[in-house]
Amino acid sequence: MTLAGVAAVARQEFTVRIRKGRWRWLLGAWFLVLLALTALLRESVLRAGRGVQPFRGAVMYGGLMLIVLSMALLVAPALTAQSVNGDRERGTLATLQVTRLSPLEIMLGKFGAAWGTMLVFLALTAPLVLWCVANGGVDAMSVVVVSVVMAVLLGTVCAVSLGLSSVLSRTTTSGVLSYLVVFALTIGTLVVFGLSSIATQETVTRPCAVEPPPPSAVEGQPAQVPDDCSFTTTRVRTDRTWLILAANPFVVLADAAPHRERCDDRTPQPASGAVRGPDVEPVEYCDNGLDPLGGIGRTVRDLRKPHVPEQPMTSSYLPPPARGKAVWPTGLTVNLVLGLGMLAVTVRQLRTPYRELPRGQRVA
Amino acid sequence: MQGTGISATAVARSFGEVHAVRSMDLRAAAGEVTALVGPNGAGKTTLLLILATLLAPDAGTIRIAGYDPVTDPDDVRARMGWSPDVFGLYDGLTAREYLEFFGAAYRMTADQSRTRARELLALARLEEHADHPVHVLSRGQKQRLGLMRALVHDPEVLVLDEPASGLDPRSRVELRDLLRSFAAAGAAVLVSSHALADLEELAHHVVFVDAGRTVGEHRLDALPDAVRPRPWRLRALDADRLVAALRRAGADHETAGSAGVDVALTGDEEAADLLARLVADGVRVVSMAPVGGALEATFLELTEETR
């Protein structure tokens, strides 16, 4: 394995991609659509309460990143899902395999070109990110973390598409399957999480609340407290199913972004006290519940929270339970394992001389 | 000749139920052009893929430039150039960039690749098109560029599957001269082709294959004698006198339009006898040769035997 070999393949792939497609149009359209959506986000946030305004940019940034990720997840398979079988169809793979390039170099070169292309798309959003920063409230750490996690997630999709293109002989099949994987990771995880949470819900029997004896009790008679009062109810155990949701790229991205405290969690609200609404300007930045990244992150962490044994229902005040642990390390690991696994598959599929040939696959 | 050329012994390869190669033997010596000839589906392409380090054989022993393509593919690749029957070029790259890319793929430095690409573009008469994208090249030019790709690393063994397909007559002549000069410089050249007339002028040695087996291995100057009648084509200044003379000689003949008259003959001996008779009869014969050339005659003979 040499770096020069990888670079040669990547350069060749990149040059062919750039000269063949209508890149100026594609990249231009990508930028303009995102520009329009950022402007729309800004207009919406401008209409939120006064309290949000100093941190408007953070809300815009969160929304923009979710949009960028959705669009990039649509672009990545289209650019990558024909890398290997497309070359085979065009008769350019075998001539590459008989050179001294190793399967690893060919794979890394192809992956590098695909991933690099996605990073170009990502880099194009930089002016829009700056616009968000100019609107205030975006912290640098968040931008760094979100960019890195986004790059890794797109790398995963590129790796999956590349792997599928090496396993399947038809380009349409690998294209469709790549999109199905993206669908499974995004919408599929949501659906499976929802359904499995319902399917695994438990039936529990809870004791009745202990009532004080009625004041109008007839003298001489003890208060009537039922001996074994209880009722049955169901409860979902998302502490067991959250893992499904963790693989979702949107969840990983949102949860990885540094969390801010929610405004109402900061000071416990007295029952009769003034509710801190979006119209009250906070002293320092807290999340009013508008930041989409923070919202998603908090939701999944809550779902992950360990199960607390049921307590008898009382009317007394219970302190809000602690937040669940971060979900993104698990989710990112799942994605990384998937991506690296598919890269390994690609190398295996490129290794010659072939002993076994999949049905319908030509060598050259 | 250990360490040079190609030697393959008892090579077999099947794809599921299909036995593409049952038992093939082949020698291609350094300094010679060896032709691989056989009908469609004989297993030629499969054998060439095995030699090209792309397909592992189920059985058999192979040495290419002294190395085993199964266990030491990289050593083989460093010394072998291969071009398949159908291949693609990278749309978008120029002819020069294409060759320079393969230079890098064969672990040459950027300088070496540049120099080599220039040499090869000159050799293929593609200098004017050096900086044109490859997809605007004509079919023959693409074919030539593909052949140059196989030569990028100056290999000592060259394996070419149908290199002449799509070439015009002039390019075929050039290809023949190129491969001959390549062999003269000490390389082993193995060529599969259906253009038997071309091979006849090109090859030193021919290997006939049919139904996955080697059915004959001959030197071009010592092809086996025919045992069955084959058509020979005769042309004379006066076609009517020729036909009349053939009738008198009792030869089994058939006119082939303006191309001449075809006569069924078995072997060179019989042909020489007939020619002598015709000349003696006063027919002014212009040409007489087996239809499709000696190689085709042998090819048809050998493949018929195994049917």
> For each successive 10 residues of chain A (364 residues), what is the average pLDDT?
93 89 89 97 90 86 96 95 93 95 97 96 97 91 95 97 95 96 97 93 75 57 61 84 94 90 54 46 60 89 78 57 83 96 97 83 73
For tokens 């159908």, name the residue.
B86
Model confidence pLDDT, tens digit, residues A216-249: 555 555 555 556 677 788 888 888 899 999 999 9
Q: How far apart are CA B205 and CA A316, in angstroms?
A: 101
d(CA A46, CA A66): 19
Q: Rounded distance, CA A7 to CA B153, Å? A: 19
Give me the pLDDT at residue A8, please: 95
Helix (H, G, I), strand (E, B) or coil at A179: helix
The upper half-sphere exposure of residue A109, i.e. CA atoms within 13 Å in the direction of its Cβ, equals 28
Q: Report CB contact under 8 Å: B50, A101.
A: no
Pair of tokens at residue A207:
């004791």
The size of the A-B interface in CB pairs under 8 A is 98
More confident residue, A214 or B283: B283
Regarding predicted confidence, which is higher, A276 or B73?
A: B73
Q: Which of A19-33, A43-57, B147-161, B279-293 has the highest mean pLDDT?
A: B147-161
| Tokens linked to B82 | 């291969």
> What pLDDT does residue A234 have?
82
Residue A70's pLDDT is what?
Answer: 97
- CB contact under 8 Å between B54 and A2, yes or no, is no
Q: How many other CB atoms are found less than 10 A from the CB of residue A251?
A: 26
The CB density around residue B86, as the number of other CB atoms within 10 Å, is 14
pLDDT tens digits for A93-109?
999 999 999 999 999 99
Residue B279, both tokens: 């000349």
Subunit contact A100:B105, Cβ cutoff 8 A: yes
From the DSSP assignment, how many helices (H) and strands (E) are in chain A?
Answer: 15, 2
Q: What are the start-end ranges of the H helices in chain B? A: 44-51, 73-79, 95-105, 110-123, 139-151, 169-184, 196-202, 239-249, 267-280, 293-305
Torsion angle of alpha carbons A12, A16, A17, A19, nearest 10°?
A: 130
A355/B56 Cβ within 8 A? yes
pLDDT of residue A248: 96
Specify the pLDDT at position B50. Answer: 96
Q: What is the mean pLDDT of residues B114-119?
A: 96
Mutate to test the interface with A, among B67, B85, B107 (most CBs of A within 10 A): B107
Report pLDDT for B167.
82
Amino acid at site A166: S
Mean pLDDT value across chain B: 89
Chain B residue numbers touching A100 (CB-CB < 8 A): 74, 77-78, 105-107
What the block records as the tokens of A198 is 């319902």
Measured CB to CB, residues of chain B less than 8 Å from chain A are 15-16, 49-50, 52-56, 69-70, 73-74, 77-78, 80, 82-84, 86-93, 97, 101-102, 104-107, 133, 146, 149
Cis preceding linkage at A353, omega within 30? yes
Q: What ipTM score was computed for the predicted complex, to two decimals?
A: 0.86
| Beta carbons of B88 and A92 less than 8 Å apart | yes
B291 vs A323, more confident: B291
Answer whether B189's CB lies under 8 Å from B160's CB. Answer: yes
3-state secondary structure of B257: helix
Confidence of residue B225 (pLDDT cuts 50, 70, 90): confident
| Residue A274: per-residue pLDDT | 44
Whole-number pLDDT of residue A255: 94
